[in-house]
A = this chain, B = another copy of it.
Amino acid sequence: MTETRWLNEVTWDDQGLVPVIAQDAETGDVLMFAWMNREALSRTVESGEAVYWSRSRRKLWHKGEESGHVQKVREVRLDCDGDVVLLRIEQAGGIACHTGRRSCFFTRLHDGNQWQEVDPVLKDPKDIYS
């Protein structure tokens, strides 16, 4: 029988989800933010690759299943309230974002009143998802 006590120690929200931050284990860059349910976290730890819960598609989502940009999990952390997960990962292809950028956080607030896209597209999404 699989030991699941550690999964019970996570504080799941009223939809059975927990927010997840994916951080590059080498550089410390925050690459993306997503959600997991219990099964997603369990599969992530068993397989060693990030599996999220897609709230829009309402299904498990093995990150990189289409793009090849899988995330190898080096470390799983939990915050002080037990309700946020931090994954320290190795990002295959160096691209976490569906826009073809390294990180999803490529938009920066400029002068306190204007969002600017500041990081480059590394690969055309057409070539990623073809």
Contact = CB atoms under 8 A, between A and B. Distances in A.
Nearest to A106: B80
Nearest to A28: B28
A109 B7 CA distance: 10
A109 B21 contact: no
Contacts of A33: 19, 21, 79, 84
B30 A109 contact: no
Given A30-B30, A30-B86, A109 B23 contact: no
A123 to B, nearest CB: 14
Nearest to A34: B84
B104 A79 contact: yes
Contacts of A77: 105-109
B113 A3 contact: yes
Residue from A19, A27, A33 whose CB has the most chain B CB atoms within 10 Å: A33
A86 B33 CA distance: 10
A112 interface: yes
Interface string A1-23: 00101100100000000010101
